[in-house]
Chains A and B, each alone.
Chain A
Amino acid sequence: MDHLQFEAMLFEAKHLKSTQRAELESHLASCSACRGLARSLNQLEERLAGASHVPPAEGFSLRFQKRLKVRRRRAHERLFGLSAILIATGLITLAVIFGGEALSLSTPLVSSGLKSLVEILRISSLFGLLKEFLGLLLENTIGNLSPAYLLAGSVAFSGLLALWIFSLYRVNTLPVRKE
């Protein structure tokens, strides 16, 4: 005898057609194993239906408000920490790019840097801008640096830029609290 078919019917009893129901009842009348399972299922469902909703302890929403404040403060602290790391990374990156010369911050270097910036602003096309920027950078400051340094500097700078954009996105998506 195929009990599996009737077992499946037992668990879908609410959705059975009248012919299927009659078939199931006829099987249950002759099969003690399936009858036992049907009885257990009924008792189990009664027990589950009788189990009430368990409420939380008093003051749930107050505890939520406290947690929300703590979570928000931590988020701001994290953001502050991230900004500090970004600034520090930026300074280190600049130090790497400009090399030992930049550490002394001599006046001619600063002045040539400003000149370079003005030159950059004058260039209109994006590719030209990039080319000119790198050219000026190489010419004025880092002509004596190895390509490995340059590559490391470029990668660090790109990462920095990505982190900065991400931090801006996070700041903008943080919910603003109404006082």
Chain B
Amino acid sequence: MTEFNPGQEKVWIEEALGGDDQSFTQLVEAYQRPVFNLCYRMLGDPLEAEDAAQESFLRAHRSLHRYDPERKFATWMLSIASHHCIDRLRRRRLKFVSMEDLLPGHDRPHPGPGPEDRFVRLEMQEEVQQMLGSLSAIDRAAVILLYWYEYSYEEIGSVLSLSVSAVKSRLHRARRELAIGWQMKHEGLVQGGMKNGPSAVRSDAV
């Protein structure tokens, strides 16, 4: 992730706290890319990501007096953006779950051709977004912070307000889910218990 001269960053923060909007804009310039990327990876839509990133910066501007200078500004900023995106995903989920979805045996209409044809057309970004989309909001944020920002478990915990053990457990579950999804998609592996990973295979099967 982009790193900036901490001295310069501190000056911008102090000036912004004094009411200088231009200095806060410098911070926006500096962090727009990581914040937008996080929002895009979380929400999967560039327009919504733009809106979420803008809103995150507005929230940061409003709460700048609560920023602890001992903490890295990037971590604080990504924490605001992550929580905002998690809230959006939760609201989206509430909005889109209809009674039809809740009925047993109901399958949503497929938006395009079959999985194999579609895979051929999918670009890398789309595939990545699709995989991330299968995870819960908090698990998704943890995976994004691990792979795109190379954050440690402690840093992820700090951003998402989780304990280190909770981060480990969420990441384990998310990566396992992603790996099994990948396996099923690329190797067409749905043999017996393999749908649920090797641990679901009975002992006598090996």
Residues of A within 8 A of B40 (CB): 54
In the complex, residue of chain B having the shortest beta-carbon distance to the beta carbon of A63: B54
Q: How long is the Cα–Cα vector from A2 to B197 in the complex, in angstroms?
A: 12
Residues of A within 8 A of B20 (CB): 178
Main secondary structure of the interface of A (DSSP, over half): helix
**Cβ-closest chain B residue relative to A53:** B37
The complex places the Cα of A64 from the Cα of B198 at a distance, in Å, of 49
In the complex, B57 has a CB within 8 A of chain A: yes
Q: Is the CB of B182 within 8 A of A44?
A: yes
Q: Which residues of A contact B37 (CB under 8 A)?
A: 53-55
Asked if B50 and A11 make an inter-chain contact with CB atoms under 8 angstroms apart, the answer reads no
The answer to whether B54 touches A55, judged by C-beta atoms less than 8 angstroms apart, is no
Tally of contact residues, A, Cβ under 8 A: 45
* Count of chain B residues with a beta carbon within 8 Å of a chain A beta carbon: 53
Checking B61, B147, B175 against A41 with a beta-carbon cut-off of 8 angstroms, the contacting residue is: B175
Q: In the assembled complex, how far is the CB of residue B186 from the closest CB belonging to chain A, in whole angstroms?
A: 7
Within 8 Å of chain A (Cβ to Cβ): is B92? no
Which chain A residues border B147 with CB–CB below 8 Å?
Answer: 45, 48-49, 51
Inter-chain CA distance A31–B179, complex, in Å, is 17
Q: Which of B27-35, B70-78, B100-108 contacts A (4 or more CB under 8 A)?
A: B27-35
Which of A37, A63, A176, A177 is within 8 Å of B183, CB to CB?
A37
Task: Tell me whether A71 and B58 are in contact in the complex, defined as CB-CB below 8 angstroms, given that A36-B189, A44-B178, A175-B19 are known contacts.
Answer: yes
- Find chain A residues with CB under 8 A from B34 CB: 53
Q: How far is the CB of B119 from chain A (nearest CB, A)?
A: 13
Chain A contacts to B: CB under 8 angstroms:
1-4, 6-8, 11-12, 30-34, 36-37, 39-41, 43-45, 47-51, 53-57, 60-61, 63-65, 67-68, 71, 173, 175-178
Further 6 A-B residue pairs, CB within 8 A, beyond A11-B176, A173-B65: A11-B171, A12-B172, A33-B198, A54-B46, A54-B49, A176-B19
13 contacts between A and B (CB under 8 A): A11-B175, A31-B206, A40-B182, A44-B179, A55-B37, A60-B50, A60-B54, A61-B29, A61-B32, A64-B25, A64-B28, A65-B21, A177-B19
